[in-house]
Amino acid sequence: MADPICRWRNPYLKTVREFINALPKTVMPSDKARELVKAQHSQDFYTTAYQLACQLGLYYEDAGMYYPKFTYDPPVEEVFQYLRNWIQKYYVPNPYTKAGFANLDPEIVHSGLCKILLTANNNVNWNDAKLELFQEAIGNDDILRNAIGFYSDVINVKSNVLEPKDGVKIADLKDYVFELAPTERNDKAAFFNQFSIREENSYKIVSKDEFSSEWKHNLIMYGAPGTGKSHELEKRSTSFGTRRQRVTFYPDYSYAKFVGSYKPVTYYKKSSEETEYFSTKSKSGTKLTIVNEPIIDYAFAPGPFLEAIIEAFLSKEPYLLLIEEINRANAPAVFGEVFQLLDRKDGVSNYKVTLSTEAMLYLQDKLGKDYSNMNEGVYLPSNLYLWATMNSADQGVFHLDSAFKRRWGFEYLPLNENEKKCADSDILFCGKTFNWNLFRNVLNSHLGKVCNISEDRLIGPFFLTKTELLEADSIKNKLLLYLRDGMWITTTRQKTNSSTRLPLLPNAIVILAKYQDHPKCVDKGTVLPVLTNQKMNSYLKEIADLCGIRKKLTFHIARHTFATTVTLTNGVPIETVSKMLGHKSLKQTQHYAKVVDLKISEDMNTLRKKLNMRL
């Protein structure tokens, strides 16, 4: 009896992901790959499990070499899409169907089953269908049925009957009939290349039954600017179809806008014919005719967060709320008490919260009978997904505290993940064109190795658009502007031999630019034409005398000024100031950075307001 597919396990998503995690991600000698797989998966992998992994197209071996399908760790949704593609292109016999099918040329199983339904123009008994397709009795047909049922878009086997899936007409199956090019049964490379990882925008709309429990319900994708975070999540979000909405956070974005608030609304009352209106209080004012008199009232206006909860409860299907630039607003403040709902088990909130009376009444009105689920408070259902993008490199972003972050799953998009999409792009620089990826990688290498810039501050492949790459001023007006905003001074303090790094403020950048071509700077490789400490203090004494300043001015006083007037007075934490000054302990900073009267006054005013509120 021939087996069209290996029986080791059902090829469910969990099993396939275990294979991908265990398999090496680079081409290498087969013996080395086998050692790694045995260590990662199991010692008996090459007894039976390998057969299923190969039939899934996850790798093949030839001439002593190992070749993987995935050269990276794919997200679960990408694995799911791969399997949807795999079921449509899997053919029998293949290099891993060890026995049987002597009279059968390689044929795509899914396509063949669609042909049988089209020919019959009706549902078909499963036993008859598999005999017609394989021309002999087969084993492991339960594994094949399960794979078809889970991954096929259009056909299923229920109660031993081959039939179209719900909502699919038999006539629709013609779009899933493919002819396989002449193929040798034992050609491992041809079989391996039969299955592609994915095509651009290939994610398909899936129902709640097809969504894997391994999809992250709370996900933040982060990475360097221009890596394609928004594009990647947008591509994945197509799986939700129209069951999604997008919101962008910005500095003034608030809880009232995100969750909802009580707002004025306008209604219109039919005017009485006897009522007269005038443009002014004066009797000479212009007489007006108002068809419907505006009436101002107040009602609860929901934000996208509540709208998403309502849609998820009513549709029962997976629903996505996509948040762009989550840390450009004060996210913990925007979420308010509902951030407690982000603690989830199997997608459902562990805790419930009670919102304002107006919000709860609004939910009751919109949810109807489903509101009974919220008698004890609002919670997130398992079919509601919250995904977000985050730029950790921008200077104008807000800090996400640890309590907020621990409720999210994080996915890092590597700097060069999508650089192949820009392989043929060129950039115009100084009248010449250079390959954009080469130009960018040289720049990133210098920024990382020489300037000690972290990867999330480097330049991603989509930092400049294709149009901007060919504009002469793009480097000056966008690329250099971005790099300038992120300029840091990195040095070692001579007195304590401790390293210090501090970002440059705009005025400091202007001063540095003024002296960049100074002969001393060019000759000594410094950013400023530095004088000796003795000479500098001498000049400062002359300036003090001319200005009538009685205090003894020295270069060291600049550190006191920076610590007090520039930083502490403007609310910079003393721990940050200590780090920028290169101090080894906070006590040193407390000695140098004495709190000024203005700071004391501001603190006491804050205290006075709090005390007045309690009276």
Residues 148 and 75 in one domain: yes
**pTM, 2 dp:** 0.53
Identify the domain boundary among 364, 385, 411: 411
The answer to whether 69 touches 53, Cβ cutoff 8 Å, is no
Q: Enter the DSSP assignment of 213.
A: T
Residues 149 and 85 in one domain: yes
In a domain? residue 504: no
Coil, helix or strand at residue 17: helix
Coil, helix or strand at residue 90: coil
Residues 539 and 566 in one domain: yes
The answer to whether 330 touches 398, Cβ cutoff 8 Å, is yes
Per-residue pLDDT tens for 258-298? Answer: 999 988 888 777 766 656 666 666 666 666 666 677 888 88
Average pLDDT, the chain: 83
Is the confidence at residue 416, as pLDDT, over 90?
Answer: no
Is the confidence at residue 151, as pLDDT, over 50?
Answer: yes
Separation CA 268–CA 36 (nearest Å): 74
In a domain? residue 281: yes
Alpha helices in 121-181 (DSSP H): 126-134, 141-151
Which among 228, 225, 222 has a CA at the least distance from the CA of 459? 225
Cβ-based neighbours of 567, under 8 Å, separated by 6 or more: 576, 577, 580, 593
Residue 462, both tokens: 């989509």
Q: Which of 386-390, 469-473, 499-503 has the lowest mean pLDDT?
A: 499-503
Per-residue pLDDT tens for 318-357? Answer: 899 999 999 999 999 999 999 999 999 988 999 999 999 9
The answer to whether 358 touches 301, Cβ cutoff 8 Å, is no
Range of the domain at 223: 218-258+304-411
Identify the domain boundary among 302, 335, 354: 302
Per-residue pLDDT tens for 426-465? Answer: 888 877 888 999 988 988 888 887 777 777 788 889 888 8
In a domain? residue 495: no
Secondary structure of 320-337 in the HEC alphabet? EEEEECHHHCCHHHHHHH
In a domain? residue 246: yes
CA distances from 171 to 89, 107, 277, 340 (A): 20, 21, 66, 49
How confident is the model at residue 582, as a pLDDT?
75
Alpha helices in 347-459 (DSSP H): 357-367, 402-405, 436-449
Cβ neighbourhood burial of 599 (10 Å; 0-12, 13-18, 19+): middle
Euclidean distance between the first and the last CA atom of the chain, given in angstroms as a whole number: 88
Identify the domain boundary among 387, 411, 435: 411
Cβ-based neighbours of 130, under 8 Å, separated by 6 or more: 138, 141
Residues 264 and 253 in one domain: no
Separation CA 223–CA 419 (nearest Å): 14
How confident is the model at residue 259, as a pLDDT?
94
Degrees, nearest 5: CA angle 461-466-467: 140
Residues 175 and 229 in one domain: no
Mean pLDDT calculated for residue range 224-235:
87
Residue 344, both tokens: 């989830």
- Which residues, in sequence order, are bridge partners of residue 92? 107
How confident is the model at residue 201, as a pLDDT?
40
In a domain? residue 614: no
Domain count along the chain:
5
Per-residue pLDDT tens for 188-202? Answer: 989 998 987 754 444
In a domain? residue 520: no
Residues 290 and 381 in one domain: no
In a domain? residue 494: no
Residues 391 and 426 in one domain: no
Residues 109 and 184 in one domain: yes
In a domain? residue 296: yes
Coil, helix or strand at residue 193: helix
Per-residue pLDDT tens for 108-127? Answer: 999 999 999 999 999 999 99
Residues 254 and 340 in one domain: yes
Q: Virtual CA dihedral for 257, 258, 264, 269, nearest 10 degrees? A: 120
CATH number at residue 246: 3.40.50.300
How confident is the model at residue 592, as a pLDDT?
60
For residue 614, what pLDDT band results from cuts at 50, 70 and 90? low
User: Per-residue DSSP letters for 260-293?
Assistant: EEEEEEEEEEEPPTT--EESSSSTTSPEE--SEE
Cβ-based neighbours of 122, under 8 Å, separated by 6 or more: 170
Residues 291 and 316 in one domain: no
Residues 571 and 434 in one domain: no
Cβ-based neighbours of 587, under 8 Å, separated by 6 or more: none
Per-residue pLDDT tens for 4-62? Answer: 998 888 888 889 999 999 999 888 899 999 999 988 888 889 888 999 999 999 999 98
The answer to whether 425 touches 436, Cβ cutoff 8 Å, is yes
Residues 404 and 345 in one domain: yes
